[in-house]
Amino acid sequence: MALNVNGLQAYVDQERMALIKKMILGGRSTRFLTIQPDIKSAASINLLSSTLEAQAGGCGFTDAGQTILTQNTLNVCPLKVNESICIDTLEQYYTQAMLAPGSYDTDFGFEQLYTEEKVSQISSLIDTLIWQGNTSVTGQTGLCNGFIKLANTTYSASTVDGNVANYTAITAANIIAIVDDAVNVIPTNIIDMDDLYLYCGYDFYRTYSTALRNANLFAYTGAEDQGESFSQMVPGTNVRLIAVKGLNGTNKFFISSKSNMYFGCDLLNDYENLEIFYSMDFQEVRVVAKWKSGVNAAFWDYVVYFKL
């Protein structure tokens, strides 16, 4: 008699392989910004500048010159993640193998991997908000203002225009000239600083690296020789080009010193401290993450801003 398996489904072993989290391009912008912690809502960046008026020597005293005290406000936005997980739902699928015996489960079995996934997601979001945040739009990008919004609105009259030749597109053919032109308009007062960065997206970085390599195949040294992935010195300058996730797809970049670009927070690693607890009232696991973030520059006239 022939074997009849019409009433069966093909077997798939759903438990043999470990749970794998999806890869996420994390944020790293905060490594290249000045961190201002312990801010609950807003803090002042206190600024000092002055004018110097030298005079010919002689008897008497003639008051001249001025010392100027000003402020920029570093606002932080309170942000959170709330999520619930019903363990009873997990009992209906292969995930039941991860649960402890008994009907009173309070753990869902993959907390560590879950935490790593959420921390990566939040880190990625923070990087996007640092640059693309815009409270005038909906969705997660609208949770807080970033450098692009500030450069386009509040401080638009102060920033240095980095699009010197009025480029309308960024291509492999013109990207070296774009970078060189922008570097050449860095304000003289900061040109010798040792923490100058050109902040750009990974897409811009890769196009620039390809253009450099094609322009000089035998002398090009990229990030692999300069101690940092997706980071390299602009040839012949003290400006380090650094790729950040938050500027991907924007066709924009910034040049300034790290000491001039501020990221405000309460505790820098607040978002990493997820609270995962079982709620007896709601019979489910609840997840809470809370953090604060915001940006501003000290002196916007020392910020070169490129946009098409």
Dihedral of alpha carbons 150, 155, 157, 161, sign? negative
Closest CA to 24 of 130, 119, 160, 165: 119
pLDDT in tens, 242-272: 999 999 999 999 999 999 999 999 988 888 8
Compute φ and ψ for 127, nearest 5 degrees.
-65, -40
Per residue of the chain (308 residues), what is the pLDDT tens digit?
A: 577 557 767 655 555 555 555 556 678 999 999 999 999 999 888 888 888 889 899 899 988 889 988 888 999 999 999 999 998 888 888 778 787 888 888 888 888 888 889 989 999 999 999 999 999 999 999 999 999 999 999 999 999 999 999 999 999 999 999 999 999 999 999 999 999 999 999 999 999 999 998 887 556 666 555 667 899 999 989 999 999 999 999 999 999 999 999 999 998 888 888 899 999 999 999 999 999 999 999 999 999 999 99
- Please give the distance of CA 8 from its chain centroid, rounded to a whole number: 50
pLDDT 10s digits, 282-306: 999 999 999 999 999 999 999 999 9
**Length reported for the chain:** 308
Q: What number of helices (H) and strands (E) belong to the chain?
A: 5, 13
Question: Is there a contact between 196 and 257 (Cβ–Cβ < 8 Å)?
Answer: yes
What the chain holds in terms of domains, given with CATH numbers, is 29-47+67-307 (3.90.1690)
Tell me the pTM.
0.88
Residues 6+ apart with CB under 8 A from 294: 39, 74, 75, 76, 77, 144, 145, 263, 264, 265
